[in-house]
C-alpha cells in the first residue's frame, strides 16, 4: 500500500501551503483574482507533486465529462480506422476524449451502444449509422456521419460528387466505354457513388452497371466488347478487378484502367497502386466535433449540417486509353 505513489488533491496542496482550497483551485484555473505570487507558488507546487485534477470530481461538479462517444457499425470495416483517427485527432484538439462502442452492425446494437455511452456520461455522441437506420432519440447531442438524410445533424461525404469526379477523371483520359462495379446494391453509399458516376457519363460515354454479390464478371469478355475502364465503389473491389484482369492477361493500366474508392491503406501497398477517390475525413471529423461542441455548450447557432466533397488521387491503376488498342474510343466513333 505504501509503495503506491499517492495522488495529491487540491485539499492536500492547500494544507501543505497553508492556504485554502478555493485559492488553489482559482490559482490553478487562472480564474478569480489571485495574486501573481500565489499563482506561482501554487502552480510550482502542483507541478512538483505531479498534481492533476480528478476527472470524476470535475465531471460531477461541472456536469461535463469532456468525453465524446463514437458508435461504429463494425470496427473491422476498413474505412473505420481513418475515420476514427480523424475524429480522435480533432476531439483531442478540442479537449475531448473518445469512447468507442461497436454496434456490431445491428440496429439493436446501435441503440444499446448509444445507451451505454450515455450511461458512461459522455457529453455527446458521433454515430456512424448502420445502413442509415434512423437514430433513437437521445438525451445528449448526437451527430451522424452518413449519406444525407432528413435529419439535420448529419455530416456526410458527398458520395455522388465522388462518383462524378471518378468518372470525369477517366473521361479526361480518353475512356468512353465503362464498367461500373458495385457489390451491395442495398448500400446507400454504393448507390450514391454509382449514381454520381452515371450522371457524369450520361450522354458522353457508354457504360454498364454491374452489381456483383458473388460472381465476378468476365473482364476479358468485357474488354472485347470495348470496355477500357472500370469504376468501382471500393478499393477492395478495385483490387479484385485488377488481380482478375491481370490473371486473365489484361495489363493494368495499359489495357484496362481501374478506379477505387476510399483510399484504404492497401491502395498504396499493391501493384499497380490504386487510383482512388478519397473522402476528406479530416474535414468530416472537424465538422462533426464542431457541431457537437456547439450543441454541448448550447450555442444558439449550430453549424449547418453539410456535405463534404471528396477528392481524387491518381496513381498507377489508371492511365490514358490505349490509342493503338482495337477496342479504343476511336473505333466507337
Partner DNA sequence: TTGAAAGCGCTACCAT
Partner DNA sequence: ATGGTAGCGCTTTCAA
Q: Is residue 77 a contact point for a copy of itself (CB under 8 A)?
A: yes
Nearest to 232 by CA among 173, 148, 318: 318
Q: How far is the CB of 35 from DNA (least distance, A)?
A: 3
Q: Which does 25 bind (CB under 5 to 8 A by kind): DNA, a copy of itself, none?
A: DNA
Nearest to 70 by CA among 91, 51, 49, 44: 91
311: phi then psi, degrees, rounded to nearest 5: -130, 175
Q: Is residue 22 a contact point for a copy of itself (CB under 8 A)?
A: no
Round to whole Å and give the CA distance between 21 and 31: 13
How many residues lie near a copy of itself (CB under 8 A)?
A: 57
Round to whole Å and give the CA distance between 105 and 112: 12
Q: Which does 230 bind (CB under 5 to 8 A by kind): a copy of itself, DNA, none?
A: none
Q: Is the dihedral of CA 162, 166, 167, 172 positive or negative?
A: positive
Q: Is residue 105 a contact point for a copy of itself (CB under 8 A)?
A: no
47: phi then psi, degrees, rounded to nearest 5: -55, -45
Decide: 250 and 256 in contact? Cβ < 8 Å: yes
Pick the binder of DNA from 1, 2, 3, 37 (CB under 7 A): 37
Residues 266-325 that bind a copy of itself (CB under 8 A): 266, 269-271
Q: How far is the CB of 239 from a copy of itself (least distance, A)?
A: 6
Q: How far is the CB of 190 from DNA (least distance, A)?
A: 44
Q: How far is the CB of 235 from a copy of itself (least distance, A)?
A: 9
Q: Which does 320 bind (CB under 5 to 8 A by kind): DNA, a copy of itself, none?
A: none
Decide: 182 and 190 in contact? Cβ < 8 Å: yes
Q: Is residue 40 a contact point for DNA (CB under 7 A)?
A: no
Q: Is residue 94 a contact point for a copy of itself (CB under 8 A)?
A: no
Helix (H) or strand (E) holding 309: none
Round to whole Å and give the CA distance between 183 and 209: 11
Round to whole Å and give the CA distance between 110 and 116: 10
Q: Looking at beta carbons only, is 172 or 299 nearer to DNA?
A: 299
Q: How far is the CB of 130 from a copy of itself (least distance, A)?
A: 15
Round to whole Å and give the CA distance between 11 and 18: 10
Write each residue from 199 to 238 as x if it is in contact with a copy of itself (CB under 8 A), else as -, in one continuous string. -----------------x-------------------xx-
Q: How far is the CB of 139 from DNA (least distance, A)?
A: 13
Q: How far is the CB of 1 from DNA (least distance, A)?
A: 15
Q: Is residue 100 a contact point for a copy of itself (CB under 8 A)?
A: yes
Pick the binder of a copy of itself from 65, 130, 276, 293 (CB under 8 A): 65
State the DSSP string of 247-274: HTT--TTTT-EEEEES--GGGGTSSSPP
Round to whole Å and give the CA distance between 231 and 208: 10
Q: Looking at beta carbons only, is 31 or 324 nearer to DNA?
A: 31
C-beta atoms surrounding 187 within 10 Å: 17
The stretch near a copy of itself (CB under 8 A) out of 34-42, 147-155, 160-168, 259-267 is 259-267
Round to whole Å and give the CA distance between 18 and 5: 23
Grid cell, residue 209, equals: 452497371
Could you give the C-alpha distances from 264 to 79, 213, 274, 309, in angstroms and in order? 7, 21, 9, 17
Residues 51-80 that bind DNA (CB under 7 A): 53-54, 56-58, 60-63
Binding site for DNA (CB under 7 A): 9-11, 18-23, 25-26, 28-29, 31-35, 37-38, 53-54, 56-58, 60-63
Binding site for a copy of itself (CB under 8 A): 4-5, 7, 52-57, 59-60, 63, 65-67, 74-78, 80-82, 84-85, 88-89, 92, 97-102, 116-121, 139, 216, 236-237, 239-240, 242-244, 246-247, 264-266, 269-271
Amino acid at each position: 500500500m505504501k509503495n503506491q505513489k499517492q495522488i495529491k488533491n487540491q485539499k492536500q496542496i492547500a494544507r501543505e501551503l497553508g492556504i485554502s482550497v478555493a485559492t488553489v483551485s482559482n490559482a490553478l484555473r487562472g480564474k478569480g483574482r489571485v495574486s501573481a505570487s500565489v499563482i506561482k507558488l501554487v502552480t510550482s507546487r502542483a507541478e512538483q507533486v505531479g498534481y492533476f485534477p480528478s476527472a470524476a470530481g470535475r465531471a460531477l461538479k461541472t456536469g461535463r465529462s469532456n468525453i465524446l462517444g463514437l458508435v461504429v457499425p463494425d470496427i473491422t470495416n476498413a474505412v473505420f480506422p481513418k475515420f476514427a483517427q480523424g475524429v480522435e485527432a480533432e476531439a483531442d484538439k478540442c479537449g475531448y476524449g473518445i469512447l468507442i462502442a461497436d454496434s456490431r452492425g445491428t440496429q439493436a446494437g446501435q441503440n444499446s451502444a448509444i445507451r451505454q455511452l450515455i450511461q458512461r456520461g459522455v457529453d455527446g455522441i458521433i454515430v456512424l449509422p448502420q445502413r442509415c437506420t434512423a437514430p433513437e432519440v437521445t438525451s445528449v447531442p448526437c451527430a451522424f456521419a452518413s449519406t444525407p438524410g432528413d435529419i439535420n445533424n448529419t455530416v456526410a461525404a458527398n458520395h455522388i460528387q465522388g462518383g462524378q469526379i471518378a468518372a470525369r477523371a477517366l473521361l479526361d483520359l480518353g475512356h468512353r466505354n465503362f464498367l461500373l462495379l458495385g457489390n451491395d446494391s442495398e448500400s446507400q453509399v454504393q448507390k450514391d457513388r454509382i449514381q454520381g458516376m452515371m450522371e457524369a457519363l450520361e450522354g458522353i460515354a457508354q457504360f454498364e452497371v454491374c452489381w456483383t454479390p458473388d460472381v465476378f464478371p468476365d473482364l476479358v469478355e468485357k474488354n472485347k466488347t470495348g470496355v477500357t475502364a472500370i469504376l468501382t465503389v471500393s478499393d477492395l473491389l478495385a483490387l479484385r478487378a485488377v488481380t482478375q484482369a491481370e490473371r486473365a492477361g489484361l495489363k493494368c493500366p495499359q489495357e484496362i484502367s481501374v478506379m477505387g474508392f476510399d483510399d484504404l491503406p492497401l491502395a498504396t501497398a499493391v501493384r499497380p497502386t490504386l487510383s482512388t477517390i478519397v473522402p476528406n475525413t479530416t474535414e468530416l471529423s472537424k465538422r462533426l466535433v464542431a457541431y457537437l461542441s456547439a450543441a454541448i455548450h448550447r450555442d444558439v447557432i449550430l453549424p449547418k449540417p453539410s456535405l463534404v466533397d471528396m477528392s481524387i488521387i491518381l496513381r498507377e491503376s489508371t492511365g490514358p486509353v490505349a490509342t493503338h488498342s482495337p477496342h479504343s474510343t476511336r473505333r466507337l466513333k
